[in-house]
Structures are given as C-alpha cells and as structure tokens.
Structure 1
Amino acid sequence: MLASRFYNSDHRRSLPVIVCLHGFLGDSDDWAQCVEFLADYPVLCIDLPGHGRSKNVHCADFKSCCDQISNVLSHQVPEQAPIVLVGYSMGARIVMAGLANEYFSAFNIKLLICESGHFGLDDEEHKKQRLINDKVWANRFSHETIETVLEDWYQQIVFQSLSDAQKTDLVRKRAKNFGSSVASMLLATTLAKQDFLLDILKTSSVSIHCICGDKDKKFKQLNASSGLPYTCIQQVGHNVHIEDPQAFTNIVKSNVRALSLDAT
C-alpha cells in the first residue's frame, strides 16, 4: 500500500478529510507547511508511487494509481466522511483523472483543489511530442546520476520563477529519489497518456477550484481560459503551496467553508 501521513487525526470524525497529493519528484513532506495552517482539519498526505516512502511501489497507468490511492482512503478515511482532494501538478492530474473517470466513486468526494494541474492535451500531435519528450527525461533519470538530471530539470520554463538558490535547494531535496522509480512514474502518468479532462470536469457534481501562481504564465493562461473557478496568487510561480502556504491554505479553507463542510 502507498505510504501516507495522517495529521490531526482526532478531528477526522467531525470534519472533512483533506487529502493532499504531491507533484513529480516530491513526497508527502512537501505539505508540511500547509499542514500547520490546516491544524483544525484532519489532513492525509500520500506518497505517490515511485516517490517518498512509496519509492518501491509502482503503477502502470492513471487507473492503477487511483486504485492505489483508493486503497489508502479506504483504510484511513471513515466511511462516507466528506473528502477534499488537493493535488499539485502531477498529483492534480492524477486526481482529476480519477474524478473524471469515476475511479473514486466509492468515496464522498466533495471538493477538488487543483494546483498547477494540466487538464490534458486535445491535439494528437502535441501528445506525440510530449511522449517523446518525457521518454527522453525518463531515460535520463534511469541512466544518469539523479543530481545531473535534476539540475537540467529545474531549468525548464515552468520553473523560471525560482531563484538559483531555490533550484539548488530543490536539487538537494529531490536527489533522494531513485531515478528508475521516478522514471517509471513519469511514463505511467505522462500528460501524453492523459485524456483531455476539462469538458468532463466542468460538468462534475464535485466542486472544483483551481489555483495558480501569477509568475506561472502557462498555467495562469490555462486556468483563465478553462471556465472553472480559479485563484491566481501574486508573487509566486508554479509551486504555490511551497512558495506561499498561508495564501494557499486560505483558499482551501474558504472553499471548504463555502460548501458548509465544516458543519458536516
């Protein structure tokens, strides 16, 4: 089973459980600062396949990953307790796929917070190019020293808002990953294999709120054109919950209150 950390578990029978899914190369510890600002809520942080304490766990595709997440939820979350899914980047794409394809239908999902999550490519040529690109990265993660690959990984445009010091720190933190494990996860959940989910999400009975950083021009535009409710946080980039955890959690809490989940 996927590794997880449950915080403030004494609240789990009276409040919605906030379930956090990290991004590529991350782990459950990435949510530590957010957990501090969510002290009044039960918070479940899951290590996704190939990452953190789940680095030796693998998945084949989006469905098998969602099935593994469901297994954690079935063991950790009280039956029919309201659940708030919070996903960042890869984690956001996985939970969007799970929601759109009803992989989480056994659970009482009330709200999805999607941070810097791509809704999917709707052009086959773009998917082909993305798969080629991700295969190159996966090959590098599998065969080169992870520090070398990470130094190049964080030079990508999506991370341009990070300072050199922040990039150096991320390389140090992410170097504990196994290259072959993250490579496997990258190919299993590549954007090239993700369906275009936006149309389905817009008709979902689950409330959805997107979050992006003002410095992240790509995802700012994606959210603005999506038709879904979203908040753009000023002075931060792609990883909002790390760069400004208080602003991020304020949005989570305001959306929970708007659905009156606190009273459940």
Structure 2
Amino acid sequence: MMNIIFLHGLLGTASDWQKVIENLPHFRCISIDLPFHGKAKETAVCHFNDTADYLSKQIQSAINNEPYFLVGYSLGGRIAMHYALQANVEKGNLQAVVLEGANLGLKTEEEKQARWQNDTQWAKRFREETPDRVLEDWYQQPVFSHLTAHQRAQLIEKRKAHCGANIGQMLLATSLAKQADFREKVRSSSLPFFYFCGEQDLKFQTLAKSEQLNLTTIPYAGHNAHLENPCLFAKKLENLILEIAQF
C-alpha cells in the first residue's frame, strides 16, 4: 500500500488532514505534528535543518523504507521543500512532493529583512497577547481575505487552544526569511514536484503560474484548500498519485 505523509501549516495540527484522509481509503495516510504544534508542542527547533531532522526521524519510524509521497500545506510545504531539496537527512523512498499554497522563497536580501521584521513582530504578539486577539488579526491578512466572518470565527475557535509563545517560536525558527529560494530547484529537480492551490487563493495562483509549476486548482477553496474542500482535494491527490505510480 502506498504511503502519504501530510504536514500541516502554522497554527495547525495533524488532525487538520483528517477529512482528506477519510477520503483516501486505499492509501496508508500519516499526518505528522510539526515541532511546537499538537503532540509535538514540547519539541523545540531553531531552524529548518532541525525541523527536517525531526521530520526524517518521524517518517522513517512510521514507514521504514517504504515508498511515500509528501504533502505539505503552507509552512508544511516550505518544510517539505527544505527536507527534499536541501537537508542532509535520510529521505528514504520519497516518490514526489505535493505543495499546497507554499511560498517557494524570497529573491532579495531586502525582502528577507522585511519578512524577518514582520515575523518578529508577529512572534512577539503570539508571545504576549491573548490567542483571541492575535488570531483575530492573523486571519485578517490578505491571504485569508476570501474567508467569511463565520469561517474566520470558526478558525479562531479551532486554533486558539494551540496558540501561544510556541507559535511565535516556530514562526522565527522557520521564517520565510531563513528559507532558501527554491524556485529553480523545484522546477529542475529529478524528484517530481506538484502544486495544489485553491482557486480563490489569488496570491499563490499567481505564483504557481508565473513560476510555471505543475498546478492543480481546487475549486470553491482559498488558501487552506484541504480544509475548505477536502473531498475534492483528496480526489485530485489520489488521481495524481495513481498516475505517477503507473510509470
């Protein structure tokens, strides 16, 4: 049976993928809590390298050397890229990587400095303010602009139990400012890379098209497509994996 490893985004937990997993009965699906999140809340990391090392150990203990696909959303996608393309870790029998709404990296030092400043400010807020207050502003960011007031309220309710200084620590450890620019590597890697994106996620739709990525669009969904349309996300993922597995 083919294995699929799922990585959630910042503020998420392994359970974020549950609805997708329920719609993939023919695969062995494993969703991993990232450091500072969920059951790994006490697991500390300082950089992408630490995080990739943690991920490698989790994957190898779960599936040994069996073939697997790696699916990562947002921060999980950025970690997946570092793990697959840069980290000096045991990757086992990795078949392909599916990125969902993940940033490929910043091009200039100026962009990186601006991002670091922004992430530092958010980290301070996660450390010092109540979850309700900081999340209210977090989900007002442009990438979440498609959400209705009800959807936003639901997300805040869902996330606040896991929200605190731990999120600020992960934000700094895996800031986009610390990430390599993976644009060229994603396109030229012998390891297949695929990109899933909600049709209402205009920022990452634009990115995927401008970088000529192998794009799969998820209708009736924004940035968090696997949460907003899990059935269709699962169907498109299954079709993709079955297509690759035939070769």
On the 8 A contact 1:121/1:191 being kept in 2, the answer is: yes
On the 8 A contact 2:52/2:87 being kept in 1, the answer is: no
How many Å separate the matches in 1 of 2:78 and 2:240? 20
How many Å separate the matches in 2 of 1:173 and 1:25? 9
Deviation at 1:249, TM superposition (A): 1.1
Q: Tell me which residue corresponds to 1:222.
A: 207
Write out aligned runs for 1:135-214 (5 A): 135-214=120-199
Report the secondary structure of 1:24's partner residue.
coil
Q: Deviations over 1:64-94 (max 9, x none)?
A: 0010011111211132x11100000000000
Letter in 2 for 1:244: N
Are residues 1:59 and 2:45 paired? yes
Q: Deviations over 1:133-168 (max 9, x none)?
A: 110000000011111100110010100111111110
Q: Tell me which residue corresponds to 1:7.
A: none
Report the secondary structure of 2:30's partner residue.
strand
On the 8 A contact 1:55/1:178 being kept in 2, the answer is: no
Deviation at 1:100, TM superposition (A): 1.2
Q: Tell me which residue corresponds to 1:91.
A: 76
Q: Which runs of 5+ in 2 are unaligned?
A: none
Deviation at 1:102, TM superposition (A): 4.4
Are residues 1:25 and 2:11 paired? yes
Are residues 1:254 and 2:235 paired? no
Deviation at 1:111, TM superposition (A): 1.1
Q: Tell me which residue corresponds to 1:39.
A: 25
How many Å separate the matches in 2 of 1:168 and 1:221? 27
Question: What is the TM-score when the length of structure 1 is the normalising length?
Answer: 0.91
Q: Deviations over 1:191-244 (max 9, x none)?
A: 111010111121212111101111111000000111221112222100000111
| Residue identity (%) | 36
Deviation at 1:257, TM superposition (A): 1.0
Moved over 2 A (4+): 102-106
Report the secondary structure of 1:259's partner residue.
helix
Question: What is the TM-score when the length of structure 2 is the normalising length?
Answer: 0.97
How many Å separate the matches in 1 of 2:25 and 2:142? 34
Are residues 1:110 and 2:95 paired? yes
On the 8 A contact 1:51/1:181 being kept in 2, the answer is: yes
Are residues 1:75 and 2:61 paired? yes
Q: How many residues align?
A: 247
How many Å separate the matches in 1 of 2:208 and 2:59? 28
Deviation at 1:104, TM superposition (A): 4.7
